[in-house]
Amino acid sequence: MSLSFTRADFPEDFVFGTATSAYQIEGHSRGGAGRTHWDDFAETPGNVVRAETGAIACDHLTRWQEDLDLAAGAGLDAYRFSTSWARVLPDGRGAVNAEGLDFYDRLVDGMLARGLKPALTLYHWELPSPLADLGGWRNRDIAGWFADFAEIIGRRLGDRLWSAAPVNEPWCVAWLSHFEGQHAPGVRDIRAATRAMHHVGLAHGHAIAALRSLGVGNLGAVCNLEYALPTDDSDGAHAAARLHDGIYNRWFAGAFRRGAYPEDVLDHLAPHMPDGWQDDMATIAAPLDWFGLNYYTCARLAPCDGPWPGYRTVEGPLPRTQMGWEICPEGLAHFLGRMHADFDDGLPLYVTENGMAWPDTPGHDDPARIDYLDAHLARARNAIADSVPLKGYFVWSLLDNYEWALGYDKRFGLVHVDFDTLERTPKASYHALARALAP
Ligand code: FCB
C-alpha cells in the first residue's frame, strides 16, 4: 500500500519531517537527568496507565544514532526534537548537567551529518520537580527560569539549529494539566489553570527574546488545535463549540500573533488572572518567524449543567484511532485556512505534528496510518494550492513511545518499538513514506 503523493506534488522547498520529544523517548532515569513532575504524577495512583514513566522509554539516549539513521532513511528533511529541561538543569536552575548538554550537542551534530534539519522545541513537558515545588507554571517566576534555560540551550546549540520553538502545546501545559488535571501536575483548579495559561505565554515570550538576542533565528510557536464542532444545530451546542474553540484554539494563537486574548474566554478568566497581566502582552507577542500547528482530531461539544465553561464532549460518528480520536482531516483543512486568513500576516505555517495511534505489531501492516497520513497531506496540498503559506509537515512520531498518561500502549510510531527488547522495526507506513519522498 502506498501514499498517493510524491515529493514532486509539493513545492520544492517544502520540508518533510518527523517529531519526537525528550521524555517520551530518551530514558529519563539515565545520564544524570533530574526528577520531573511526570515522575511524580506517574507515582500517584490512578494518574498514568500501569504507573508507567519515561525512565527507560525507547532508550534513545544510547540508541540515538540508529534513530537518526531511521529518520534519514525515510527520506525526511527535518527532525523535530526537544531538550529536556531536567536533563540539562536537574534542579531547573543553577548547575548544568554537562552530560545532558553534551548529549544534545552530539544529537544536533548527528542530525546535520545525516542531512536532517534540527528543529528544536525547548520544552515538551518535563518540568523539573524542584520547580514544580515552587508552583511550576502557577508561579510567574517561571518565565525567568525558562528564559535562563533557553539561554543555556541557545548558547550551546544555537549556531546549528534550523528552527526553534519554546513550548510544545501551551494549551496542554496549562489547561489540560491545571484545569482538566489529565497531565502533570494533575491540578484541577481554575485559578491555577488561568495563571498557567498566562505564564506559559510569558515564558514563551521571554524565551523568544533570549534566543533572538543570541542570534538564533527561525523562531516559532507550536500550538495544538482541536476542531470544535457543535454536536447538533442548537444554539447551546454552537455556543459550546465556540467557547471550546476559544479556550483551546484562540487563546494562544491570539496572544502570540496579536497580543490579545479572546474576549469571550477572558470574560470568565479575568478574575483569576495575575495582576498587571496586560503589561505582559507585548512580550508574549514577540514577533515570530513561523507558526506551527499540531493537529489530530475534532471534538463535538454540547452544553451541560454546572459551572463555566458548561460544556461536555460527545462521541462522534467518524472512525477512530487507538486513542479514540475521530479521524477528521477536514479539521486540518479548516485550521490551515483559518490560521492564515484570521491573522492576515503572511506568517509561514508548519504542521508540526500529525499522526495516529494504532495497536501495531511487527509483521502486520498499518494501512490505517497510511490512509491517515494520505488524507491529511491531501488537505495540506489543497491549502498550498489555495495560497496558504504552508511550508512543511512533521509526522508524529518517529518511534512508538511513552504516550503520557496512557503509557506505552498507544503506538504512534512510523517505527515499531518492542518495549522489552527495544528493537526497532519500521512499519509499512515508514516504507510508504520513504517511497513517496525518494528523489
Ligand atoms: C501531542 C503531544 C505529543 C504526543 C501527541 C500524540 O499532544 O505533543 O507529545 O503525545 O500529542
- Which CATH code is given to the segment(s) 7-437? 3.20.20.80
**Is the shortest distance between the CB of 125 and ligand 1 below 6 Å?**
no
Q: Which of 52, 169, 326, 403 is catalytic?
A: 169
Could you tell me if 438 and 351 are in contact, meaning their C-beta atoms sit under 8 angstroms apart? no
**Is the shortest distance between the CB of 168 and ligand 1 below 6 Å?**
yes
Integer angstrom CA distances of residue 46 from 137, 298, 323, 406: 22, 26, 18, 11
- Ligand 1 centroid to Cα of residue 19, in Å, is 10
CA-to-CA distance for 47 and 29, rounded, in angstroms?
19
- Ligand 1 centroid to Cα of residue 404, in Å, is 8
Q: For residue 384, what pLDDT is reported?
A: 98
Closest-CA residue, ligand 1 atom 10, reads: 403
Which residue, among 375, 364, 237, has the nearest Cα to 318 in the 3D structure? 375
Q: Which three cell numbers stand for residue 78?
A: 527535518
**Is the shortest distance between the CB of 321 and ligand 1 below 6 Å?**
no
- Ligand 1 centroid to Cα of residue 294, in Å, is 8
- Measured from the Cα of 323, ligand 1's closest atom is 6
Q: For residue 271, what pLDDT is reported?
A: 98
**Is the shortest distance between the CB of 401 and ligand 1 below 6 Å?**
no
What DSSP element (H or E) covers 203? helix 190-213
Q: Which of 26, 52, 151, 353 is catalytic?
A: 353
**Is the shortest distance between the CB of 404 and ligand 1 below 6 Å?**
yes
Closest-CA residue, ligand 1 atom 9, reads: 21
Could you tell me if 22 and 399 are in contact, meaning their C-beta atoms sit under 8 angstroms apart? no
Could you tell me if 86 and 36 are in contact, meaning their C-beta atoms sit under 8 angstroms apart? yes
Which is it for the CA torsion 242, 247, 248, 254, positive or negative? positive
The per-residue b/e assignment along 12-38, b for 16 or more CB within 10 angstroms, e otherwise, is eebbbbbbbbbbbbbbbeebebbbbbb
Please tell me the number of Cα atoms within 13 Å of 230 on its side-chain side: 11
- Ligand 1 centroid to Cα of residue 233, in Å, is 31
Cα-atom radius of gyration of the chain, to the nearest Å? 20
Q: For residue 226, what pLDDT is reported?
A: 99
Which residue blocks in 20-161 are alpha helix, DSSP H? 22-25, 37-43, 60-73, 85-88, 98-113, 129-133, 142-157
CA-to-CA distance for 168 and 221, rounded, in angstroms?
8
- Measured from the Cα of 125, ligand 1's closest atom is 9
The mean pLDDT values, 10 residues at a time, for the chain of 439 residues are: 97 99 99 98 98 98 99 98 99 98 99 99 98 98 98 98 99 99 98 99 99 98 98 98 98 98 98 98 98 98 98 98 98 98 95 98 96 98 98 99 98 98 98 97
CA-to-CA distance for 350 and 389, rounded, in angstroms?
9
**Is the shortest distance between the CB of 151 and ligand 1 below 6 Å?**
no
Could you tell me if 328 and 318 are in contact, meaning their C-beta atoms sit under 8 angstroms apart? yes
Q: For residue 438, what pLDDT is reported?
A: 97
Could you tell me if 236 and 243 are in contact, meaning their C-beta atoms sit under 8 angstroms apart? no
Dihedral, CA of residue 337, residue 338, residue 341 and residue 343, to nearest 10: -140
The per-residue b/e assignment along 352-367, b for 16 or more CB within 10 angstroms, e otherwise, is bbbbbbbebeeeeebe
- Measured from the Cα of 404, ligand 1's closest atom is 10
- Which residues, other chains included, contact 151 with Cβ-Cβ below 8 Å and sequence gap of 6+? 210, 211, 214
Please tell me the number of Cα atoms within 13 Å of 362 on its side-chain side: 12
52 carries an active-site annotation: no
Could you tell me if 17 and 80 are in contact, meaning their C-beta atoms sit under 8 angstroms apart? yes
423 carries an active-site annotation: no
Closest-CA residue, ligand 1 atom 4, reads: 403
Backbone angles phi, psi at 182, to 5 degrees: -85, -20
pLDDT tens sequence across 191-208: 999 999 999 999 999 999
pLDDT tens sequence across 375-434: 999 999 999 999 999 999 999 999 999 999 999 999 999 999 999 999 999 999 999 999
- Ligand 1 centroid to Cα of residue 183, in Å, is 11
Q: For residue 344, what pLDDT is reported?
A: 85
- Ligand 1 centroid to Cα of residue 357, in Å, is 11
Could you tell me if 293 and 379 are in contact, meaning their C-beta atoms sit under 8 angstroms apart? no
Determine if residue 110 is left, alpha or beta; phi over 0 gives left, psi from -120 to 50 gives alpha, anything else beta: alpha
**Is the shortest distance between the CB of 403 and ligand 1 below 6 Å?**
yes
Integer angstrom CA distances of residue 29 from 23, 198, 219, 366, 404: 10, 31, 30, 32, 16
